Amino acid sequence: MDVRYLKGVGEKRAAQLAKLGILTVEDLLQYYPRDYVDYSRPCPVAEAPYDEKCAVRATVYGKTGGVRVRGGKTVFKVTAGDDSGSLALTYFNAPYAVEKLVPGDEYVFYGKLGGTMMQREMVNPTALPAAAAEAEPFAAVYPQTEGVNSAYLAKCVKSALEKGVTLPEYLPDDMRREFRLAGKMDAVRMIHFPKSAEDVRQARRRLIFEELLALQLGMLLLRGRGSPRTSVRVKPPDLAPFYKNLPFAPTGAQTRAIGEILADMESGAPMNRLLQGDVGSGKTLVAAAAMLAAVQSGYQAVLMAPTEILAAQHAKTVASLLEPLGVTAALLTGSVKGAAKKRLLQAIASGEAQAVVGTHAVLSEGVEFARLGLAVTDEQHRFGVRQRTQLAQKADHPHLLVMSATPIPRTLGLLMFGDLDVSVLDELPPGRTPVRTYAVTGKKRADMYGFLRRELGAGRQAYIVCPAIEDGETDLLAVNSYYSDVAVPLLAGFRVGLMHGRLKPKEKADVMGAFARHELDALVSTTVIEVGVDVPNASVIVIENAERYGLSALHQLRGRVGRGGGTAHCVLVSDHATEAVRKRLSFLCHTTDGFEIAKYDLETRGPGDFFGSRQHGLPTLRIASLANDTRVLKAAQEKALEAVRGDPALEAPEHAPLRALAESLFERGVAMN
């Protein structure tokens, strides 16, 4: 039911509610409170804690009319109290709140207590008649928008419940009994209008479990994780020539990861493994060893990267490692056209092309593999779940290896990859020193550019990153205008380039190539340089509007410098730093551990913003917290795996509600068909 047809809403209010993502009455019922005002244990005036938010029960003695003061504000004064003392209430620009207070009546006021021990005060407290506070002791506090406050949202929810609007009960009775979970509508009523703290606990427990179960089921359905076997049988490979051909000895972490991957590929079950390692830790070498193992057993292997620049870099590395061993490597991107593309597709279809590297072009309908045994995706968070699934569908349950330079906390890894096994490259090449990181405001920009000129004058290079491509958002430094109005004038005498995602692939490759060859001293760019060719001579990266990024995304960007030895610098610029933002940026300045950064990012920003964007395909969580609800997440994961183990597509009649549950959540982010 469209929310505008609910009593007290209408067209104007519906437009305001839409800003909160509330389009239907069902959305409204699932728009859960973020906190509560607790009227359940009001204090006498004399016992109320000073300088803290609290509830105080008092009788209104009198009130005065509004008085205009400086700044155009109107002040209303109310006197109240009880047998223990008096309470002075001050309201600014709130005539309606004061009008509702009746002298002689008793209320529960909620706010921050100030004043002195002799004269206690509250400014703009909320107030409920004492009888109403006893009947509904917890008032929900919702995320709000202009024109829509918590009281109005609670009123709308109450109207919907009185109208008899219900939500489907997806959880089977036996599952609810097993975990002692409340019914769906009981939980919805308790979350919005709890009578006690226990009501809140029970409601949250039920709703969090259901949401995490929906996510787990959806991810398993999308990945097709129901099949426990694969027809791809890899024999123990001979990697001696591979290691002998390397110009350096692999790190212990690389050797360990290769061993774990080979054990998976030889097991008879489809490998589903995540390979994590910071920028420069050697993930491509590990992937190349796995690709060689597949080829030696008569299969093809494919490595998919998110950009043409990165695909070309991987192709060059893979070819250098495998072609001397007799493996035919090929690069397939959107830039390959005409006769060259036709020949390449024929080579892939015939099996002549044994190790294929490409962009999302490898997912195209015309790309057919003769015998695909291993699919590798790099920077996996840049691919939606469906794209990874499409790649896996190019064969009969091929082995799957996903690589990421973004450290992922175990809690988020559990959700995104289910029971994916994890290999970690926790050793970096010797000689790399931590990048020095600083957070500054735009007022320091002139000093910062002086520092840049000194670095460039010493023969080094710099990246300058802006988040927007063209003017439109007043608080962002658009990359085009920043390049022409700021960077070029302030770096006069140096060669400054410009790159962003709207350039054609060849143009981007040309600019990046020029920077890599030191034909450019500085590169003004959007985050397309986050993954790109290595430029060891780049010693500085400046990130404008740093508050717009998650810490993990900033950590990724920071990894573009300091790759050639020597001291490297990362400057985070923000003119919009709230206390929370300053705390986040300060954390990054003092932390280089990617996993600690990822954990902090997850706790403070949530999964939706974890990678600085929502490209990973996860729908938004309404109530669950991946940082805090790990026990519930594990229980939900076990139940989801149990359901799909014997019924991979959840097609059995008894599993219809569970499939509907997954679809109800994922229709907001990822389609299920």
* pLDDT given for residue 425 in this prediction: 83
Per domain, the residue ranges of the chain are 1-36+142-157, 40-135, 166-223+631-673, 240-425, 436-591
Q: What are phi and psi of 235, to 5 degrees?
A: -85, 155
Q: What band does 398 get if pLDDT is binned at 50, 70 and 90?
A: confident
CB 488 within 8 A of CB 479: no
Is the pLDDT confidence value at 174 over 80? yes
| pLDDT tens-digit series, residues 402-440 | 887 766 665 566 555 555 677 888 776 555 678 899 999
Alpha helices in 393-469 (DSSP H): 410-417, 445-457
The secondary structure of residue 589, as a DSSP letter, is H
Is pLDDT larger for residue 214 or for residue 611? 214
CB 498 within 8 A of CB 481: no
Quote the longest CA-to-CA distance of the chain: 94
Q: What is the pTM of this model?
A: 0.61
Instruction: Report the percent of the chain where pLDDT is more than 90.
Output: 44
Is the pLDDT confidence value at 612 over 50? no
Beta-strand ranges (E) seen in 116-186 are 120-123, 126-129, 138-141
Q: Span 1-36+142-157: which CATH code?
A: 1.10.150
* pLDDT given for residue 530 in this prediction: 54
Is the pLDDT confidence value at 384 over 90? no
Q: Span 40-135: which CATH code?
A: 2.40.50.140
| pLDDT tens-digit series, residues 459-509 | 999 999 987 654 444 444 578 888 998 899 999 999 999 988 778 877 887
* pLDDT given for residue 88 in this prediction: 94
| Alpha carbon distance, N-terminus to C-terminus of the chain | 25
* pLDDT given for residue 614 in this prediction: 38
- The counts of H helices and E strands in the chain are 24, 22
| pLDDT tens-digit series, residues 8-19 | 888 888 888 988
* pLDDT given for residue 200 in this prediction: 94
- CB atoms under 10 Å from CB of 198, counted, come to 10
Is the pLDDT confidence value at 106 over 90? yes
* Residue range 111-130: mean pLDDT, rounded: 89
Q: Span 240-425: which CATH code?
A: 3.40.50.300
Is the pLDDT confidence value at 613 over 60? no
Is the pLDDT confidence value at 532 over 50? yes
Domains 240-425 and 436-591 share a fold: yes
Fold of 436-591: Rossmann fold (3.40.50)
Distance CA 399, CA 395 (A): 10
Q: Which two tokens stand for residue 426?
A: 């926790």
* Residue range 377-382: mean pLDDT, rounded: 63
* pLDDT given for residue 627 in this prediction: 64
CB 616 within 8 A of CB 626: no
Distance CA 311, CA 304 (A): 7
* Residue range 376-403: mean pLDDT, rounded: 69
* pLDDT given for residue 90 in this prediction: 94
| pLDDT tens-digit series, residues 619-637 | 667 888 766 777 888 888 8
* pLDDT given for residue 77 in this prediction: 93
Is the pLDDT confidence value at 63 over 80? yes
As a whole number, the mean pLDDT across the chain is 84
| pLDDT tens-digit series, residues 295-320 | 999 999 999 988 787 888 899 999 99
